[in-house]
Structure 1
Amino acid sequence: MSPQTSTQLLTALERSGPRPALAWYGEAARIELSGHVLANWVIKSIGHLHDELALEPEETVVLDLPVHWKRLALALAAWSLGADVTILDRDRDGKQDPEHAAAGPAPRVVATDRPDSPLAADADEVLALEAVSLAPRFDGTLPALAHDWVAEVRASPDQLGVDLPAWSGPSPAVAAPLGGGAVTRLLVAGDGLTAAPEMLGALLAGGGIVGPRAAVGEDRAREEAVTGHASGA
């Protein structure tokens, strides 16, 4: 697939400026990321994966994390670098056994809130992070050589300095045009990754996503100017 998907996505996010690309109703309160801010997180994540971890196209990145906008940013960055991204399903309590969560060879990179798990122990590189929006660092004991992702990624450049390979993620769906200058605001079940084509289509169209669905009632959906529901939302 063309690398243009990555550059088009980053361009669309930047062009949306201060308009919210993501409204997240998470662990504490509503968190809003503008297009510029979400693009910045993705660019910094691309730089960290490329410069610090030397991630190459077709290498495996496993996301062993609860649904969260940080997981979304990591997935977009890894797909932009041509990686094979495995997103583990987590039950409602987040207790899925990571020892048996991913089949096949040991992954190149594991991003996880369980850096002491057997899955993480088998990985070449471990990114430790928690599904907490404002956490400045990993709040726990880090195994030797594990990366504190939030602390490290903030030091990555704000400008893209990587020649991107072919995009390895899902093909975006085409968002239906809206009249009157309105933009697509898609309600998603989690962080958008279970409906990735629709999520990508909304962002490429200059719109945004709102989630998770379970925390967004009808009144909030109206306040967020939601224009549609993603599959499964």
Structure 2
Amino acid sequence: MTPADVLALIRQDETAPRVTFYDDTPGQTRGERIELSAKVFANWIAKAANLLQDEFEAAPGTTIGLDLPPQHWRTLYWAMAGWAVGATVTLDGVTNADILVTDDPSRAGTGDLILVTLAALARMSPNPLPSGALDEAAELSTYADHFDAWASPEDSDTALIAGGIRTTYRDLVSVPAARDRRRRYLNVVDAAAVLRGALDTWAADGSVLLIRDPDAMMLDRRLQIEGATPTVG
């Protein structure tokens, strides 16, 4: 099973929840709760993939540095968009990637730069854009909700680089023993573990719960409300 297979499965039930996100980080985004149905999540992936392909000609062989908070809904759709175009998503040496996707305007890469604003309702970056950077908040909504890739990756192509380990498209997703539509709380802080946990959950037709900087006093109540089962990936 590959990320493309997972995306096809996600789309089968458009109304099913696929991502639920809480932000407990001190600051302007504290208290945000986002729930994305399969259709809405697939639309975000398509828009980001179209941006990568149309603006930067991303394709198999392109490296995309992912420099976003691990437990964030935007991290999930940018990773899926990278795999949709057949690129290699890297969590190592991100500033050396062909395309850097980051929420940090001070990060300077050697290639193209996409600046992401984490706030859910942002329509433009609140920070000055680095020279040549693309403002995701201002630009992403202009791209189509349907995506057709120019080329597909080989199963042996590298899908993910993390911790010095290269994982191929063939080996990125674990094949589930059976369907399990439970909501899984990914209580891990490592970005690679979050991405793998999300892929494996969706492959089983489940839903992902992410909580950024979880408030320990509210955690049990949130898990009860969301009907989520904690997991380590």
Q: Tell me the SS of whatever aligns to 1:217.
A: helix
**Alignment correspondent of 2:175:** 174
For residues 23-61 of structure 1, the C-alpha deviation after alignment (integer angstroms, 9 at most, x for no partner) is 100133211011111111111111110111111322221
Q: Tell me the SS of whatever aligns to 2:223.
A: helix
**Alignment correspondent of 2:51:** 48
**Alignment correspondent of 1:99:** none
**Alignment correspondent of 2:199:** 200
Q: What's the offset of the Cα at 1:83?
A: 2.0
Contact residue 13 and residue 206 of structure 1 kept, 8 A: yes
**Alignment correspondent of 2:98:** 108
Asked if 1:139 corresponds to 2:126, the answer is yes
Pick aligned residue for 1:37 from 24, 35, 40: 40
Cα distance change on mapping 1:32 and 1:127 into 2, 3 Å? same
Cα distance change on mapping 1:174 and 1:228 into 2, 3 Å? farther
**Alignment correspondent of 1:224:** 226
What's the TM-score, normalizing by structure 2?
0.78
Structure 2: gaps (5+ residues): 24-28, 161-166
Contact residue 19 and residue 35 of structure 1 kept, 8 A: yes
Q: How much is the aligned-residue C-alpha RMSD, in angstroms?
A: 2.5
Percent identical among aligned pairs is 27
Structure 1: gaps (5+ residues): 89-101
**Alignment correspondent of 1:96:** none
What's the TM-score, normalizing by structure 1?
0.78
Contact residue 182 and residue 228 of structure 2 kept, 8 A: yes
Contact residue 20 and residue 32 of structure 1 kept, 8 A: yes
Contact residue 60 and residue 151 of structure 2 kept, 8 A: no
Alpha-carbon distance between aligned partners in 1 of 2:81 and 2:6, rounded to the nearest angstrom: 11
Q: How does 1:70-219 map to 2 (within 5 A)?
A: 70-87=74-91, 102=93, 106-117=96-107, 120=108, 122-166=109-153, 168-169=159-160, 171-177=172-178, 183-189=181-187, 193-212=192-211, 214-215=214-215, 217-219=219-221
Contact residue 184 and residue 205 of structure 1 kept, 8 A: no
* Residues matched between the structures, number: 208
For residues 170-225 of structure 1, the C-alpha deviation after alignment (integer angstroms, 9 at most, x for no partner) is 521234536xxx61311113687424333212112221100127246122112212
Contact residue 105 and residue 127 of structure 2 kept, 8 A: no
Aligned residue type for 2:225:
E
**Alignment correspondent of 1:94:** none
Contact residue 115 and residue 126 of structure 1 kept, 8 A: no
